[in-house]
Structure 1
């Protein structure tokens, strides 16, 4: 449809059945007249800062009307320019970065983006403000009703991503699932011990609480 209609602007979701939004963008960037692309994503591993410092735009789900209006205003300003500068170079650089620092996403063989680009930032609600938390600062994640709690050294924030989906976005070498509702950062594990009930407990660096390891994940700590 893009080939047939030749639009000036394309809003692309990143996670789609079949080709991903990045795969589509990789094809468009090589076309004779690539459109302006606005990525739509619910996943912070796609480097929000990269979007903010490039010529393309992004909308983070759930997109507010105010944020959408700003994106449209920016697009209108570009399109009104005497010769609208299409962000080909910036888009190529962004695609390379989102693919993990290597070549741009291969259009012929779409691959799951989460596998090549582990989560780097967490956009989380903390009271009335929104925090952008580097993944290195996260001590553990815990399922919390409709939300997932993100625990760092100085407190707790909330995200809407279910822990099952979150697990797919994390580097499994750096984050260990120890319970169906808990994922802990390996770098923040101080050690383990058994409580009076015989349960294996994870002790943390920087936080006083101890986390229960369910029987399904005990083997992860054998030899510690």
Structure 2
């Protein structure tokens, strides 16, 4: 039985795609329906699906980031609302591209294409090269102004942090720590909400609850249990990297 995950931050779009897949491909078992890129990557690691339907624009990780991190472990179909981003890379047959709103006719074509590729039993060899091409060509416009300053509380004091000075964010159930080399404070904004207002690639997510400024990283090392720990240039704390985001340090 073929398996898949679906990832889209819009509930309606995600539900419509799942409904059409169940109608057009009843043999397909949908293992997870994810609302952001982090959930999608975790689902790929956990369930190892045959296919991932990924929205290109998602919180935490973009569809491109998820596809790159999955490292060719499954076939990828991108979905997007931007009709100006179709590129020649999709002619390789490694992946497909569904323009929203997705029609049953177009989805049926994609399903046939996946089934034809799957019958060969070989994953496309050019997937990573396609990801790099996509990353260069799909430059999506920012819909909102990115954050430049953050006001964080420390007891009864309000402190102002420049985004460039922040080393990392760390969330718990109630608050998010904002940590610079000299100071720290707390905000009530979650990691997921922060990502919507931060410029892309300004911070790396390395754990479900941690984002780090890559310019602040001194080194990454493995401990005696094989866990990856990030050491910072100007701070004594070490940050643990979860398995989901270990791909950022793949060279270790």
TM class, shorter-length: 0.3 to 0.5
Using structure 2 for the length normalisation, give the TM-score. Answer: 0.42
